[in-house]
């Protein structure tokens, strides 16, 4: 089992790029790296939603992207002025598809969750084969003082 985890040479104070194998354990490692980045960027308020979104996108890439074992999956985390952008890159041309799972189904809810938690998400081409699935999350608006609930 190979679990690649390396910061790309392009990592900055506002971006983290990591490469992973398709092994399911990589999801937990990727979550840990995102958690560290969020803490460093002062985005702890997004942690719960961001980690769940990342888990779903990375799990989908590992399960559904039919690529050869030596191809890796990349995660890109970007600090934005209003929050965070998460990207998951893989070499498969197969596009993700949101579906309505049966109530007793054990899977099929990933993109439904992403859609509910992210401000927006989508799929785009990338440099090279495959695709990038991305999601953007924003910090909650600050509550104004003096405004009561009526």
15-138 to CATH, choices 3.30.565.10, 3.30.70.3270, 3.40.50.970, 3.40.50.2300:
3.30.565.10
pLDDT at 98: 66
pLDDT tens per residue, range 5-57: 444 434 457 899 999 988 889 999 999 999 999 999 999 999 999 999 999 99
Q: CA nearest 138: which of 68, 66, 61, 53?
A: 53
**Tens digits of per-residue pLDDT, 97-107?**
766 666 665 55
Residue of 42, 50, 54 lying closest to 13 (CA atoms): 42
pLDDT in tens, 68-120: 666 789 999 999 988 999 999 998 888 887 666 666 655 556 888 999 999 99
Closest to 113 in 3D by CA, of 56, 59, 42: 56
Going from N- to C-terminal start, the domains of the chain cover 15-138
């Amino acid at each position: 089992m190979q679990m690649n985890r390396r910061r790309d040479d392009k990592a900055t104070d506002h971006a983290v790029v990591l490469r992973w194998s398709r092994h399911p354990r990589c999801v937990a490692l990727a979550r840990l790296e995102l958690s560290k980045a969020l803490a460093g960027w002062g985005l702890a308020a997004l942690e719960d939603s961001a980690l769940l979104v990342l888990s779903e996108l990375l799990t989908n890439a590992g399960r559904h992207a039919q690529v050869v074992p030596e191809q890796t999956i990349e995660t890109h985390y970007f600090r934005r002025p209003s929050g965070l952008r998460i990207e998951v890159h893989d070499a498969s041309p197969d596009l993700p598809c949101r579906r309505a799972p049966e109530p007793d189904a054990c899977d099929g809810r990933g993109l439904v969750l992403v859609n509910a938690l992210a401000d927006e998400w989508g799929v785009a081409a990338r440099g090279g084969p495959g695709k990038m699935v991305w999601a953007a999350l924003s910090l909650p608006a600050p509550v104004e003082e003096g405004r009561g609930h009526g």
